[in-house]
Amino acid sequence: APQDGEYYLRLRTDSATVDTNYDLLLTLDQIHGALAPSGQFDYTVTDNAVQSSASAVVYNVSGTTINGSNNDEIIIGGATDDTLKGFGGNDVLIGGGGNDALYGGDGIDRLDGGTGNDVLDGGAGNDLLIGGAGNDTLTGGLGADVFKWQLADKGTPGSPAVDTVTDFDATAGSDKLDLRDLLQGEIGSGGGANLEDFLHFEKSGSNTVVHVSSAGNFAGGYAAGQEDQTIVLQGIDLIGGFTTDQQVIQDMLNKGKLITD
């Protein structure tokens, strides 16, 4: 019968001359279906070889806290609320279902909240943050981060998903909004540029609110009934003295802050 306590798994190679590259796959499964799958799981990969590299893939059951290590990891949450922490290394954290909390830590990380209302924090490094479906809160942390939206992440016209970016850096060459998959049929530059049909910018207090119609249905001007995604950029003014959406869009393109097709 399974018992509580600490369990150890040791992998060893006796070779002193051959480089050893390996992946460690850990699968957490619920053996007894009647037991609530909750708790905390920690693991450590210790690699003393000079030229070896270690990575780990962790699949966990729902309702769990997973603490990573300083190595590169792929940590995948379950169907309910999870807390995934990458710490060091270049990690991939995928929340899955539920309202998840993802913390990248150091390194160049990819955080994907999945469904639910998730909280993502990239930490240090140039990270990629994807909130997924639901109303998510995204913090890039240190580094030049990319905040990405996909078509499946949006709400419906008139009932948009609302995501909040807490620390968007508006200076040139830093953080970016990647809307390539979200916007359908947009033309970012040239004579047929039409991004103002997709994006409307509004100043709200100290925030900039980006109203999005993924289908480009703002062609006759902003219409709340056509909005299916809202992006709140906290504490930042992207509008300044501009008077049209096209001016704001062009400024973002010039500074490399907006990625479109």
Show the tokens assigned to 218.
Answer: 């703002």
Domain ranges of the chain: 23-28+39-44+52-143, 152-261
Distance CA 97, CA 128 (A): 19
Indicate the length of the chain as a whole number: 261
Does the model's pTM come out above 0.75?
yes
Residue type, 232: V
Please write the tens of the pLDDT for every residue from 181-213.
Answer: 999 999 987 767 999 999 999 999 999 999 999
pLDDT band of residue 22 (cuts 50, 70, 90) is low
Name the strands in the sheet holding 207-212, side by side, starting at the edge strand that comes first in the sequence.
Answer: 39-42, 64-67, 83-85, 101-103, 119-121, 137-139, 161-165, 229-233, 207-212, 199-204
Q: b/e for 107-122, b at 16 or more Cβ within 10 A?
A: bbbbbbbbbbbbbbbb
Please write the tens of the pLDDT for every residue from 137-187.
Answer: 999 999 999 999 999 999 999 999 999 999 999 999 899 999 999 999 999
DSSP bridge pairs for 165: 138, 233
What pLDDT, on a 0 to 100 scale, did the predictor assign at position 42?
Answer: 56
DSSP bridge pairs for 197: none
Distance CA 147, CA 165 (A): 8
